[in-house]
């Protein structure tokens, strides 16, 4: 177990280093000056130079990167150009809304995806299989923001069952927090569930067509036991990999869905920061999301290695 964790960490840490270099570099390739964006149309060359000097933008890029990277190692991502607030505080304020939506969507995706995948995988070629498989194609193809607007129109505007503006902090009202997560989680989870369902179906079909299944049938093992004790268990190995990919997709999609449901998360913060060329905030958001993706995939890789002995390092 310890060797497997160290092995996976050996891949994760260089990834974070590369991501940090790319994040810092790309923000400074954006045309224009953050000082000019802050000052607006009334900016003059002298005032721009003065603000750039105050922000430290007139220093060499390498010097700024060393300072930023050193602060990152100590949990300091700098200060926002516009608000003057620490970037870590801004991220900590927005992170709960985004994580609530993402993990809510991931729960829906796993429940829907595994359930549909098991049903279709155990009934290949039937009408149920064709209908549900067609539904997964629709789930992958439909734009998430459109699905979110349809769900909001039906369940919030017409029926009045759920709130239109979803986010309420858990500390204020846990029940309203949960009700506000239903529509965003469904919007994210249905798309992610379609991906997991297709992987689960393919894994179930392969598992039930393997020679050991024929042996169990010949030995008189009940069909339900073969399906759910052996078939589903062996099918979960590739599903774990699909879950990691789904999590990465949900993070990107959540930035769009936040605008649909007025969630004060990282997506809206990222949008306003890009428009205002607030580079420290942009760097912080991208680095945080990359860390989340790498961290979750690290956990999934470890779980995959525990389930599948062939994936463990020799």
Q: How far is CA 160 from the centre of its chain?
A: 29
Burial class (CB in 10 A: 0-12, 13-18, 19+), 47: middle
Q: Which residues, listed in sequence order, are joined to residue 111 by a DSSP beta bridge?
A: none
Q: Fill in the DSSP letter of residue 79.
A: B
pTM score above 0.85:
no
pLDDT at 88: 92
Q: Which of 238, 305, 270 is nearest to 95 (CA)?
A: 270
Q: How far apart are CA 177 and CA 168, in angstroms?
A: 5
Q: How far apart are CA 186 and CA 112, in angstroms?
A: 10
Q: How far apart are CA 61 and CA 102, in angstroms?
A: 35
Contact 265, 98 (CB under 8 A): yes
Q: Which of 116, 137, 152 is nearest to 191 (CA)?
A: 137
Q: Which of 48, 47, 66, 16 is nearest to 294 (CA)?
A: 16
Between CA 138 and CA 246, with CA 254 as vertex, the angle to 5 degrees is: 60
Q: How far apart are CA 278 and CA 55, in angstroms?
A: 11
Average pLDDT per block of 10 residues along the chain, 314 residues long = 65 79 77 75 78 80 84 86 89 92 91 88 86 86 86 85 79 87 89 86 81 77 75 73 81 86 87 85 89 81 65 56
Name every residue whose Cβ is closer than 8 Å to that of residue 236 and which is 6 or more positions away in sequence: 203, 307
Q: How far apart are CA 17 and CA 65, in angstroms?
A: 12
Q: Which of 86, 81, 77, 84 is nearest to 38 (CA)?
A: 81
- b/e map of 198-220 (b: 16 or more CB within 10 Å)? bbbbbbbbebbeeeebeebeeee
Contact 58, 52 (CB under 8 A): yes
pLDDT at 2: 60
């Amino acid at each position: 177990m310890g060797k497997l964790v160290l092995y996976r960490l050996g891949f994760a840490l260089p990834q974070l280093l590369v991501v940090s270099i790319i994040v810092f570099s790309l923000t400074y390739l954006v045309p224009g000056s953050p000082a000019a964006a802050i000052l607006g149309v009334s900016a003059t060359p002298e005032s721009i130079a003065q603000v750039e000097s105050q922000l430290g933008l007139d220093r060499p890029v390498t010097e700024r990167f060393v300072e930023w990277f050193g602060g990152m190692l100590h949990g300091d991502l700098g200060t926002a150009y516009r608000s003057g607030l620490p970037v870590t505080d801004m991220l900590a304020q927005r992170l709960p809304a985004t994580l609530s939506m993402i993990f809510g969507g991931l729960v829906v995706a796993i429940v829907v995806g595994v359930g549909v995948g098991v049903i279709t995988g155990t009934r290949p070629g039937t009408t149920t299989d064709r209908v549900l498989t067609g539904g997964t194609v629709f789930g992958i193809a439909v734009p998430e923001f459109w699905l979110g607007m349809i769900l909001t129109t039906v369940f919030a505007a017409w029926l009045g069952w759920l709130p239109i503006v979803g986010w309420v902090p858990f500390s204020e009202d846990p029940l309203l927090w949960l009700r506000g997560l239903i529509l965003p989680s469904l919007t994210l989870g249905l798309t992610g569930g379609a991906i997991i369902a297709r992987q689960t179906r393919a894994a179930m079909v392969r598992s039930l067509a393997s020679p050991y299944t024929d042996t169990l049938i010949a030995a008189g093992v009940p069909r339900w036991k073969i399906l759910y004790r052996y078939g589903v268990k062996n099918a979960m190995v590739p599903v774990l990999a699909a879950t990691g990919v789904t999590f990465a997709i949900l993070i990107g999609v959540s930035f769009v869905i936040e605008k649909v449901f007025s969630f004060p998360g990282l997506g809206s913060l990222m949008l306003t920061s890009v428009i205002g060329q607030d580079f420290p905030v942009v760097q912080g958001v991208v680095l945080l999301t990359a860390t989340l993706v790498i961290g979750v995939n690290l956990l999934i890789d470890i779980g995959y290695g525990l389930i599948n002995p062939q994936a463990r390092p020799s």
